[in-house]
Chain A
Amino acid sequence: MRHRLRDPITGLLFVLPMLVLFLMFRIFPTLAAAGMSLTNWNIGGEWSFTGADNYVRLVNDPNFWSSLRVTLVYTAIYVPLVVLVSLGTALLLNAVVFLRGLFRGILFLPYVTSFVFAGIIWRWIYEFDGLLNGLLAKVELGPVAFMERADLVLPALAVVSCWKGFGYSMLILLAGLKAIPGTYLEAATVDGANAWQRFRSITLPLLKPALFFVLVIETISSFQVFDTIYVMTGGGPAKASYTLIYGIFERGFRFWEFGYAATWGMVLFAVVLVVSLIQRRIVGKEDT
């Protein structure tokens, strides 16, 4: 750290353009939403401050607790899945030279399209007489109604989001791998380290900043999963895939209870923040 340039003014000047944009278009609307959560505001007419009423209602709302549980379970499935898949593919791509560009392009394809497209494609795949059940039937495991089993719907949705989203983290991790000087790995090879040892003691530590980024971003996106659920299950079966963000959408834009929807939003914000801080603690503050 001793080499770091100490220059508060230039530091601030470099941040300034982004800072102004943030204050206006992120922080202000967030504060307004926080303000809304203390009122019974809807889009027109009368409103009043209701203090903590919305928060009391939230605590007593069984829908909220069940959607919080659903969201956490989904995150616990999705985040490890997507991190492993994207790290795996990034390592694979980094290990090959011939046709690397082509493979990278193909693997990135799903990220280019919309969630609606992904949702529809995967509905075909999960259909009772769809592709996947055809395969399962061959090994005498199926058919399975993926969208109707409370225990299977979240893993099934997590797979869809992973398929759609892993290209993003894959590219980030690939860029991270590229930033690791080749000489380190060559030196380790010369010293007789095997592939796993090289990965464990060189690649992984040097990849930490990129990995931490991916972890945080994927956690946030898993808390905000919406389109896949909207297209595929509508929150079902019997609310088994009814997430916090789906609840916010429904309360705000279907039921027009904006104050209460904002309350859900604030709590979702707090939950993600806590989870991210825990992740930061685990990954290690110094390296992030």
Chain B
Amino acid sequence: MRKATAAGIVAAMSAVIAGCGSGGSGSDKSAVTLWMYPVISDVAKNKTFWDKVEKDFEAANPTIDVTIDQQPWDGRQEKVTTALASRKGFDLVVLGPDQIPQYAQQGTLEPVDDIVAPDKAAYLPNSLTGLTVDGKLYGVPIYQTITAPIYNKKLFEEAGVEKVPETLAELKEAAPKLAAKGVAILDYPGKPDSLNQSFYPILWANGGSVFAPDGKSVTVNNQQGIDSLQLLLDLKAAGGLPENTASKGNDIEGGPLAAGKTAMYHAATALQADQLGAAIGPENVGIGLPLEGTKRVAFGIPGGLVLAKHSEVKDAAKKFAGYLASPEVAAALAKESGFYSARTDVTIPDQSETSKQFARALEYAFPGDTHPKARQVMAMIGAHVQAALIGKEDAKTALDAAAAEANELLASGS
């Protein structure tokens, strides 16, 4: 094992060609760069908000010069990775719990425990655990997202179902009644790129877990896992899933939910609820609590402000991160974005009705297992769940195969 002083072989080789690159700036101000993502969907409001944040902070901290660059969601992975690899670009960036463990493990991020320490008790516990790797906090939660079931109430009424399903059992029970009307009850998105808004919430509600508590093996093929997948297969057999369930994404616009062909989606975002409202009329949209199996669990992740290890202005960056996490900024951001604060001591002014409904699910928020191999394992499970949905494998075979592949990956250590 060798320690590379530069960013590995690549940087070393290019450094030979390049000689010394850019020089430092002469100013005695600390320049902090934040890469932000368009969490506020209205473009103009997004700009106004971040311009104000920048101005207010600089007014209070005249020695710090803040730059906030808006980056697109598309290609986020490539963009952040190349920046970390070349050790240039941002000082602060917003990442989710599915990205942080790997970057932290590779030693490219700086722990930020000290920023949160004074108000630690004020944060939602799951916001912090989701951003913690090996006992150290690597992200300052500046907002929290949540998902919850959304319903087309009219379709349930028309099928004679008086109360929309609030548990997995009720979901299964109501499926044939809607199927009789030609409506699939659950708009299950089986496209295999992520399971966080499809299979995992059902698995979690049934008390299942992807990884064993020690993270050394995969337990998705235990009874809870098989029950969860079997539920989907039973729904499918009862006409409770759309015909293209195995390949469809979870887009509302242009999808079967908006067209009145499916009746509910168990892991929607607030924006999706509004999109559905625009399509079928807001009065027909119901928003529920996470479906109950043996417990209620909702997928929801904190937006974590991470600090790059290569940053040369760590103190200034931490100060800025602390400002962004303060109750005032958190409240304003939550109001504008429709997301939530990761803090419990924040009151969000003038929340929309949709936002208030979704906020009820916050206490059940779970960001998924923070495991460095979580994404690889998700890809393996995703492919087999899809195979089951198109009828190629039964529930047990599919999950056993996925678990075998995943356990082999974990054992190989590579």
Chain A residues within CB distance 8 Å of chain B: 24, 28, 31-32, 35-36, 39-48, 57, 124, 127-129, 143, 145, 147-150, 233-239, 242, 250, 253-257, 260
Bound complex: CA of A47 vs CA of B85, how far in Å? 13
Chain B: number of interface residues, binned into ranges: 35 or more
**From B245, which residue of chain A is reached at the shortest CB distance?**
A148
Bound complex: CA of A260 vs CA of B413, how far in Å? 13
In contact, A35 and B9 (Cβ under 8 angstroms): yes
In contact, A234 and B2 (Cβ under 8 angstroms): no
Judge whether B352 is part of the interface by a CB distance below 8 angstroms: no
In contact, A237 and B102 (Cβ under 8 angstroms): no
**From B412, which residue of chain A is reached at the shortest CB distance?**
A57
Find B246's partner among A36, A41, A148 (CB 8 Å cutoff): A148
Chain A residues within 8 Å of B108, by CB: 43-45
In contact, A41 and B8 (Cβ under 8 angstroms): yes
Find B387's partner among A124, A238, A254 (CB 8 Å cutoff): A238
In contact, A32 and B14 (Cβ under 8 angstroms): yes
**From B77, which residue of chain A is reached at the shortest CB distance?**
A253
Contact sample, A vs B, 15 pairs, CB 8 Å cutoff: A31-B13, A32-B10, A36-B10, A43-B106, A44-B84, A45-B107, A46-B4, A145-B247, A148-B247, A150-B392, A236-B192, A236-B386, A238-B383, A238-B386, A254-B375
Interface majority SS (helix, strand, loop, mixed), chain A: loop
In contact, A145 and B244 (Cβ under 8 angstroms): yes
Chain A residues within 8 Å of B254, by CB: 124
Bound complex: CA of A148 vs CA of B17, how far in Å? 49
Query: Are A233 and B4 also in contact (CB < 8 A) when A41-B10, A256-B81 are?
Result: no
Within 8 A of A (CB), among B80-127: 81, 84-85, 102-103, 106-108
Find A148's partner among B13, B244, B261 (CB 8 Å cutoff): B244
Find B390's partner among A124, A148, A242 (CB 8 Å cutoff): A148
In contact, B85 and A237 (Cβ under 8 angstroms): no
Chain B residues within 8 Å of A57, by CB: 414
Instruction: Output the least CB separation between B173 and chain A (Å).
Output: 25
Instruction: Output the least CB separation between A76 and chain B (Å).
Output: 23
In contact, B414 and A40 (Cβ under 8 angstroms): yes
Within 8 A of A (CB), among B1-24: 1-4, 7-10, 13-14, 17
**Which 9 residue pairs are nearest across A and B when measured between Cβ atoms?**
A45-B107, A238-B387, A147-B247, A44-B108, A234-B193, A128-B243, A43-B85, A44-B106, A253-B77
Chain B residues within 8 Å of A242, by CB: 383
Bound complex: CA of A147 vs CA of B4, how far in Å? 45
Chain B residues within CB distance 8 Å of chain A: 1-4, 7-10, 13-14, 17, 77-78, 81, 84-85, 102-103, 106-108, 190-193, 242-244, 246-247, 254, 261, 309, 373, 375-376, 379, 383-384, 386-387, 390, 392, 414
Find B247's partner among A39, A41, A236 (CB 8 Å cutoff): A236
**From A53, which residue of chain B is reached at the shortest CB distance?**
B414
In contact, A128 and B242 (Cβ under 8 angstroms): yes
Query: Are A254 and B77 also in contact (CB < 8 A) when A47-B2, A124-B254 are?
Result: yes
Instruction: Output the least CB separation between B109 and chain A (Å).
Output: 9
Bound complex: CA of A234 vs CA of B10, how far in Å? 30
In contact, A237 and B10 (Cβ under 8 angstroms): no
**From A43, which residue of chain B is reached at the shortest CB distance?**
B85
**From A49, which residue of chain B is reached at the shortest CB distance?**
B2
Instruction: Output the least CB separation between A143 and chain B (Å).
Output: 7
Find B81's partner among A43, A150, A250 (CB 8 Å cutoff): A43
In contact, A234 and B192 (Cβ under 8 angstroms): yes
Chain A residues within 8 Å of B102, by CB: 255-256
Find A237's partner among B7, B375, B390 (CB 8 Å cutoff): B390
Query: Are A43 and B84 also in contact (CB < 8 A) when A236-B192, A238-B392 are?
Result: yes
Among A35, A36, A239, residue most surrounded by chain B Cβ atoms (within 10 Å): A239
Bound complex: CA of A71 vs CA of B304, how far in Å? 38
In contact, B9 and A41 (Cβ under 8 angstroms): yes
